C-alpha cells in the first residue's frame, strides 16, 4: 500500500529538467522571469506581428502547483507553444494541466495545441469570439509573420464561468470583462497577490484598441481591478510591475485617447485632424505609441463622429 504513495511523493519532489541550453524561438532565447513564488512570466517583444518576431509579441505566464502547471495564454502558434513547453519544463517537473486563455487575439491562444494533454478554458464570450474570428485571424497571422497555420491546428478552449475556482487544489478568482476585446478573462491569484490582466493591461507598450467596445468602458473596468489591491500584475504586453503602476499607465493612455477623439469629433473635424497632434511626453517613450495611436484613430474615430455629430447610441 505504501508503494503508490512513495512514487507520487518522489514525483512531487522531482527537480525540473536542467537547462542544458537556451530555449530558442525565432532566433531569440525565451526567458521565464520569476515574479512570485512558483510563478513566471515569459515576456513577448514590444513589437507588432512580423516575420522578424514570428508572432511572439504577447506575454505568457505559468504557475507551478503540486497538481500540475497552470498556463495563462499559450502564444501565437503551435511551434511557439512547443518551445514554451520546453521552457516550462526547465522550471518544473510537472506537466501543464490547465491552459487559461485570456481573450481571442491570436498571440494569446494559437499555441494551445502544443498542450494537447491539458484542459483549455476561457469565458463563453471569448469562446464565441474565437469561433467567429479564428479564420480571419489565421489569415492575418500568416500574412504578417510569413508562417503557415493549419485551420485544424487551432484548439478552442472549453467554457468556464467567472468566480472562484480550484484547479487541482490551487484556488484562483476569475473576472469576466470586455474592455479590450469584447471578452476578457482576468485572473487573480490571492495566494501570491499576482493579477494576470491579459490585454486589459499594457505596460511600456501602447494599448491596441481595435476590438474594444468602448474606451470609457475599458477605463471603468480597470478602476474595478484597482480595488483588488494586487501586489504584482502581469499585463498582456510589456513587463510585470506593481499592479497600480500598470493599471494607471493604461488608464492614463486610454483617457487621453478618448478625450482627443471626443474633442476633434465634437468640432466636426475629420480623422486627419485627430492625427495632427504630438503625443504627450508621458507617452512618447512607450513602445509603438505613434503606431497604435494612428491605428486607434483610423479604427475608432468613425464611432466618435457617429455618436457626437449624428447622435448615434454608444
Q: What are the grid coordinates assigned to 277, written together?
A: 497632434
pLDDT tens digit string along 140-180?
Answer: 999 999 998 887 678 899 999 999 999 999 999 999 999 99
pLDDT at 19 over 70: no
Strand order in the sheet with 39-42: 32-36, 39-42, 60-65, 68-72, 96-100, 119-122, 158-159
Q: What does 104-155 look like in DSSP terms, one character per residue?
A: SSHHHHTTGGGGTTSEEEE-HHHHHHHHHHHHHHHHHHHHHH-----GGG-P
Q: How does pLDDT run across 237-252, given as a tens digit for each residue? A: 999 999 999 999 999 9
pLDDT at 18: 52
Distance, in Å, from the CA atom of 290 to the CA atom of 92, rounded to the nearest integer, reads 40
Q: What is the pLDDT, as a whole number, of residue 3?
A: 39
Output the pTM of the full model.
Answer: 0.93
Residue written as grid cell 485572473: 187
Please state the rounded mean pLDDT for residues 181-201: 98
Instruction: Tell me the mean pLDDT in the region 89-115.
Output: 97
Amino acid at each position: 500500500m505504501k508503494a503508490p504513495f512513495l512514487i507520487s511523493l518522489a514525483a512531487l519532489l522531482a527537480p525540473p529538467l536542467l537547462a542544458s541550453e537556451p530555449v530558442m524561438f525565432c532566433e531569440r532565447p525565451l526567458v521565464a522571469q520569476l515574479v512570485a513564488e512558483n510563478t513566471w512570466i515569459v515576456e513577448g517583444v514590444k513589437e507588432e506581428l512580423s516575420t522578424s518576431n514570428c508572432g511572439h509579441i504577447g506575454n505568457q505566464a505559468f504557475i507551478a502547483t503540486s497538481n500540475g502547471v497552470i498556463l495563462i495564454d499559450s502564444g501565437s502558434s503551435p511551434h511557439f507553444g512547443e518551445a514554451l513547453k520546453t521552457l516550462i519544463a526547465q522550471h518544473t517537473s510537472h506537466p501543464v494541466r490547465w491552459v487559461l486563455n485570456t481573450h481571442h487575439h491570436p498571440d494569446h491562444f494559437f499555441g494551445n495545441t502544443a498542450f494537447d494533454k491539458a484542459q483549455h478554458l476561457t469565458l463563453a464570450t471569448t469562446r464565441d469570439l474565437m469561433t467567429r474570428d479564428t479564420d480571419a485571424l489565421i489569415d492575418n497571422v500568416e500574412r504578417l509573420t510569413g508562417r503557415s497555420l493549419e485551420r485544424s491546428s487551432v484548439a478552442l478552449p472549453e467554457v468556464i464561468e467567472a468566480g472562484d475556482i480550484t484547479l487541482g487544489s490551487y484556488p484562483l478568482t476569475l473576472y469576466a470583462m470586455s474592455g479590450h476585446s469584447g471578452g476578457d478573462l482576468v485572473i487573480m491569484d490571492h495566494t501570491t497577490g499576482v493579477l494576470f490582466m491579459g490585454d486589459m493591461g499594457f505596460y511600456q507598450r501602447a494599448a491596441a484598441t481595435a476590438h474594444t467596445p468602448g474606451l470609457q468602458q475599458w477605463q471603468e473596468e480597470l478602476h474595478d481591478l484597482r480595488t483588488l489591491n494586487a501586489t504584482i500584475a502581469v499585463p498582456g504586453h510589456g513587463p510585470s510591475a506593481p499592479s497600480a503602476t500598470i493599471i494607471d499607465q493604461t488608464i492614463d493612455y486610454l483617457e487621453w485617447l478618448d478625450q482627443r477623439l471626443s474633442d476633434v469629433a465634437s468640432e466636426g473635424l475629420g480623422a486627419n485632424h485627430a492625427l495632427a497632434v504630438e503625443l504627450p511626453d508621458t507617452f512618447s517613450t512607450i513602445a509603438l505609441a505613434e503606431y497604435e495611436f494612428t491605428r486607434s484613430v483610423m479604427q475608432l474615430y468613425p464611432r466618435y463622429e457617429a455618436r457626437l455629430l449624428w447622435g448615434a447610441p454608444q
